[in-house]
Amino acid sequence: MEERVYTLIKNRNNPRSKLFAHRVIDWQQRHGRHGLPWQGADVYRVWLSEIMLQQTQVVTVIPYYLRFVARFPTIAVLASDSEDAVLAHWSGLGYYSRARNLHRTAQLIMQRYEGKFPQHFEDILALPGIGRSTAAAISAFAFHERCAILDGNVKRLLARYHAIEGYTGEKKIEAQLWQQAEALLPKRNVAVYTQGLMDLGALICTRSKPQCPICPLQTDCAAYQNELVTQLPTPRPRKVLPEKHSTFLLLLNGPDILLEKRPGSGIWGGLWCPPHVDPGLLNEAQDPRAYCLQYFGTETIHTLALSTFTHTFTHFKLHITPLLLQVINKPKQIQEAGMAWLNVDDALQAAIPTPVRKLLQEIQTRRRAL
DNA sequence: AAACCGGGGTA
DNA sequence: TACCCAGGTTT
């Protein structure tokens, strides 16, 4: 908070920042994006759009957003529905922990704020799934507060505008960028300004092939003036990806497949997956059939080992070996919560990660061929 | 295949 | 507090 007061004072009578903001606002009014479904909407819709936009581009978000608000028109409706219903409407957008945070936050707002979204920046920032930049965006768009955002687009734009070298995820560089973001804030029209920054970053100051010739900041942009645009921002330092292995047990019983809901945190948090074991564990048991009998109470015929494929995450590669196992006894009623026999068609509608979707689709294809 | 990304988790 | 993580899209 002190920091913002400081920049406010410093910002006063600073013609350079005034020029910057003026150009952004003027460009936004002439050429920026208008008529997006969440522009000028209530804080719930602004919040929802910001969470969806954290992970996905505007054109992709729009249909999901419209379906979501049609199904969950208010915070109260969202809070009172089940997590699975919320995840189902998020299905296809990915990043499901954000949907779960959204749902959790809606319930928290009902309890702690009597259903009314908090208006103060600090309270917004304290909500699950909302960090500094998202809290600022909500404050600016919904409450016209004078708060600076710093999302990926703005990082790139500012790194170029000031020719700041160094990976923008690095602590030191990020601190510089935040300072600039605050220093450049206009006194008025913060919502238009903020949308302008986002739109400039998304439409003009793009990662590759930026449209410098039509950029309103061209004459002041240090990267442009020094021909550094293609070199900035500095890319993330590269790392070698570790590799892991996993065996997926595809237990099939007629039209059904056994899935388990993964724990809330970690890889594929809260998503439905077939049971899987790391190879070391299975080697000990030797026989996947014995493993299935022990853990799932199912007699199985080991029908087929599908070909191993690789799924690449940001931080490691996962080599997946799918084993197709046909269940031959009628499986006992599932006792554990978070385990279910699901019709493959229904499973494809549920919240499942991409490699699982691939496998389920392959199972369906095989079935049709039979 | 690599780059990207805002917030959460953890040591 | 300073890292490190996650997963889907874009290039």
Strand B–CB A205 distance below 7 A: no
Q: Which of A25, A88, A75 lies closest to A47 in space, CA to CA?
A: A75
Measuring alpha carbon to C1', the residue closest to nucleotide C4 is: A315
Measuring alpha carbon to C1', the residue closest to nucleotide B1 is: A312
pLDDT of the residue at A280: 62
On the question of a cis peptide bond just before residue A233, with omega within 30 degrees of 0, the verdict is: yes
For residues A208 and A230, what is the distance between their CA atoms, to the nearest angstrom? 8
pLDDT tens readout for residues A56-76: 888 889 999 999 999 999 999
pLDDT tens readout for residues A295-322: 888 888 877 888 888 888 777 888 888 9
Residue range A243-369 forms a domain whose CATH class is alpha beta
Strand C–CB A166 distance below 7 A: no
Q: Which of A104, A98, A101 lies closest to A55 in space, CA to CA?
A: A98
pLDDT tens readout for residues A81-92: 998 889 888 877
Fold category of A2-231 in CATH: Endonuclease III; domain 1 (1.10.340)
Strand B–CB A233 distance below 7 A: yes
Strand B–CB A153 distance below 7 A: yes
Between A191 and A13, the higher pLDDT residue: A191
Strand C–CB A267 distance below 7 A: yes
- pLDDT surpassing 60 at residue A173: yes
Round to a whole number and report the distance in Å from the CA of A171 to the C1' of C2: 9
Q: Which of A95, A96, A99 lies closest to A71 in space, CA to CA?
A: A99
pLDDT tens readout for residues A185-204: 999 999 999 999 999 999 99
Mean pLDDT of A206-230: 93
A239 closest-nt by C1' vs CA: B2
Return positions of chain B under 7 A from a protein CB.
1-10
Strand C–CB A295 distance below 7 A: no
Could you say which DSSP state residue A218 is in?
G
Range(s) of chain A covered by CATH 1.10.340.30 = 2-231
Mean of the per-residue pLDDT values of chain A: 87
Residue with tokens 């529905």: A81
pLDDT tens readout for residues A252-296: 999 999 999 887 777 787 788 899 887 666 555 568 888 888 888
Q: What is the 3-state secondary structure (H, E, C) of chain A?
A: CHHHHHHHHHHCCCHHHHHHHHHHHHHHHHHCCCCCCCCCCCHHHHHHHHHHHCCCCHHHHHHHHHHHHHHCCCHHHHHHCCHHHHHHHHCCCCCHHHHHHHHHHHHHHHHHCCCCCCCCHHHHHCCCCCCHHHHHHHHHHHHCCCCCCCCHHHHHHHHHHCCCCCECCCHHHHHHHHHHHHHCCCCCCHHHHHHHHHHHHHHHCCCCCCCHHHCCCHHHCHHHHCCCHHHCCECCCCCCCCEEEEEEEEEEECCEEEEEECCCCCCCCCCEECCEECHHHHHHHCCHHHHHHHHHCCCEEEEEECCCEEEECCCCEEEEEEEEEEECCCCCCCCCCCEEEEEHHHHHHCCCCHHHHHHHHHHHHHHHHC
pLDDT tens readout for residues A42-55: 999 999 999 999 87
- pLDDT surpassing 50 at residue A10: no
Round to a whole number and report the distance in Å from the CA of A55 to the C1' of C9: 9
pLDDT tens readout for residues A91-107: 778 788 889 899 999 99
A156 closest-nt by C1' vs CA: B4
Between A237 and A151, the higher pLDDT residue: A151
Residue A367 C-beta-side C-alpha neighbours within 13 Å? 15
Strand B–CB A317 distance below 7 A: no
Return positions of chain C under 7 A from a protein CB.
2-11
Between A348 and A111, the higher pLDDT residue: A111
Strand B–CB A132 distance below 7 A: yes
Round to a whole number and report the distance in Å from the CA of A258 to the C1' of C4: 32
Could you say which DSSP state residue A202 is in?
I
pLDDT of the residue at A6: 29
Residue with tokens 């006063």: A12
pLDDT of the residue at A236: 84
pLDDT > 90 fraction of chain A, expressed in percent and rounded: 53
pLDDT tens readout for residues A337-369: 788 899 999 888 888 888 888 889 889 888 888
pLDDT of the residue at A23: 96
pLDDT of the residue at A350: 81
Range(s) of chain A covered by CATH 3.90.79.10 = 243-369
Measuring alpha carbon to C1', the residue closest to nucleotide C6 is: A267
Measuring alpha carbon to C1', the residue closest to nucleotide C8 is: A94
pLDDT of the residue at A4: 34
Give me the active site residues of A, please: 50
